[in-house]
Structure 1
Amino acid sequence: MEDALFKRMLGALGVGGPSVDTVLNDPHTHPGGPITGRVDLTGGSHDSSLEHVTLSLVTRVETAEGDVTGEFHRVTVSGPLHLAAGQELSIPFHFEVPWEAPVTAVHGRPLHGMVMGVRTEVSVDQAVDKGDLDPIQVEPLPVQHRILDALQQLGFAFQTADLEHGHIAGSPQTLPFYQEIEFRSAPQYAHAFASIELTFVTTPHAAEVILEFDGSHDTVHRYTVHHSSADTTDWPGQVDAWLQQAVHHRRHSGHHGSYGGHDDHDGGGMGGVLLGAAGGFAAGYVAEEVVEELFEEEED
């Protein structure tokens, strides 16, 4: 009786509880793409009652208060179950990442400043959450690839990328943050602007392309491109035309105004339209040191 009570007390403290290991079939995916694998559970020294097994996507976002590591997409892969002492159990899973998921790698090379992982949460005996965290890489969709490649072909040099907490008004954005990919200006455009920041807001059918020049919220040009156009468009020529429009507008406006545009083009800068405290991210704040350590290892 005392031994059983002691084991239950240790279990409440997380001692002798089950172990968790998440195995991904492939750590590479793309916006709207799948993540598949299994969660391997091994019972500890005593029986355990598991309330749920949940997977979430975790990343780092820049907020007004500083960088925050938190979850932005959550999927339950198992409800309550009983795990006997020493029992081994595998739970397969399959879920799709959001279409707006930020790009974290291009051509297999991680983007400096970007980190993302799949976090596994197992709620055990109403007390301790056992966890696991596995890094993943999100490669661009074809149309995103073409635009990124076109910028490099035109002579723009990638500098860094980050996630900004907020919302771009007028966009189909649903996540509480957006990605900015920064490039140093190509030599032929250096006289007009020193840098550009590229943002994709992606849906199943199209991607809104937002170009911000010299970090000024007042100089923003917006375009909508359809996924079906990935292989039917001269992307270096198209991107060059966008940039020529920006230079022309800056030259003739005499100030850093935003391009009015027409058809696919949506005018209006991001200045003054970023909504603070977009819901859903801060509430998913993850404080475990293991998250920070894993992200630091990924960046190294």
Structure 2
Amino acid sequence: MFKKLKASLGIGATTVDTRVENESLYQGEMLRGVVRIKGGNIEQQIEAISLKLCTEVKVESDSGVSYESFVLGSMQVIDPFVVQPDEEKDVVFELKLHDETPITAVNARSNKCHVWLETTLDIDFAIDPSDRDFIEVRPLPVVQRVLNTLEREGFTMVKADVEKGQLNGDGFTSLSGCYQELEFKSSGMFNRKEIELSFILDGNVIHCLAEIDRSFGRGDMFRSFTISLDASEGEVEQALASTLHA
């Protein structure tokens, strides 16, 4: 009885350790790994193992700005089972990254974009053991071409974060419930400009919404464009032209 009481408090209870096979990947790719379960001091009933793909989103309200965890996707990887004392069990999994998973591998002065896999064991009458594994999400090659073009034009990425809500562009809408913003500033003295870019992967194309804050009180404006995943540098430059020269 004393062992059961301690296990219910997490002492000597079953533990979980997720090992991700590919910790660096693109949006839409398959995340693969193994959940390793190790029994504690007593036999325990495991109702479920849940995997959640999470990010951190910024929430703006009348009371200010706050940050909260946001689930992009989830799955249950195993049916209920009993784990014996000191028993070890490996469960292989595959989880597709949501197409709108934020990019984390960006060269921003302030990068607030984080993506992680959260593993939880559902155990009767006990504290649920959990494990968190951070994942690097790289820009797709065509997105990297957009970023490179902006740098060549004298823009520096100053901030990257994820907003809670929906993004609406010209002919496209985000679906995940959040969207990423990459904020750039130009270094020009007389034509200083700020651009916020958001990308939405949609099959074989990338949609982009640009919010442009122009200098000298000329106000904000929006530009949308869509390019294929295999767009060349020239095609990227052409698509960006209306944004850069707005």
Q: TM-score, normalised by structure 1?
A: 0.72
Is the Cα–Cα contact under 8 Å of residues 156 and 185 in structure 1 kept in the other structure? yes
Aligned partners of 1:101 and 1:111: how far apart in 2?
18
Q: Which has the higher helix share?
A: 1
Q: For residue 140 of structure 1, what is the aligned residue in structure 2?
A: 139
Quote the residue 2:50 is aligned against.
54
4+ residue runs over 3 A deviation: 190-193, 215-218, 231-234
Partner of 2:123: 124
Give the secondary-structure state (helix, strand or coil) at the position aligned to 2:139: coil
The CA deviation at 1:224 is: 1.3
Q: Which amino acid letter does the alignment assign opposite residue 80 of structure 2?
A: P
User: What aligned pairs does 1:162-241 form with structure 2 within 5 A after superposition?
Assistant: 162-169=161-168, 171-187=172-188, 191-214=190-213, 218-229=220-231, 231=232, 233-241=234-242
Q: CA offsets per residue over residues 55-91 of structure 1, 9 Å max, x none?
A: 1122211102411123222121112111100001111
Tell whether the 8 Å contact from 1:153 to 1:236 is kept in structure 2 after alignment.
no
The code of the aligned residue for 1:78 comes to I
Query: What's the CA shift string for 1:83-108, capped at 9, x where partnerless?
Result: 1000011111111101111111048x
Whether the aligned pair in 2 keeps the contact of 1:32 and 1:96 (CA below 8 Å) is yes
Cα distance, 1:217 vs structure 2: 9.1
Name the structure with the higher strand share. 2
2:203 counterpart SS class:
coil
Q: Aligned pair count?
A: 237
RMSD value, Cα: 2.3
Partners in 1 of 2:117 and 2:209 — Cα distance? 28
Aligned residues: percent identity? 27
Equivalent residue, structure 1, for 2:97? 97
TM-aligned CA deviation for residue 193 of structure 1: 4.5
In the alignment, structure 1 residue 29 sits paired with structure 2 residue 28: no
Aligned twin of 1:14:
10
In 1, are the aligned partners of 2:199 and 2:209 still within 8 Å (CA)? Answer: yes
Partner of 1:43: 39
Q: Write the distance in 1 (CA, Å) between the matches of 2:54 and 2:7.
A: 27
Where structure 2 has 5 or more consecutive residues not aligned to the other structure, the ranges are: none
Distance 1:8 1:223 in 2: 60
2:129 counterpart SS class = strand
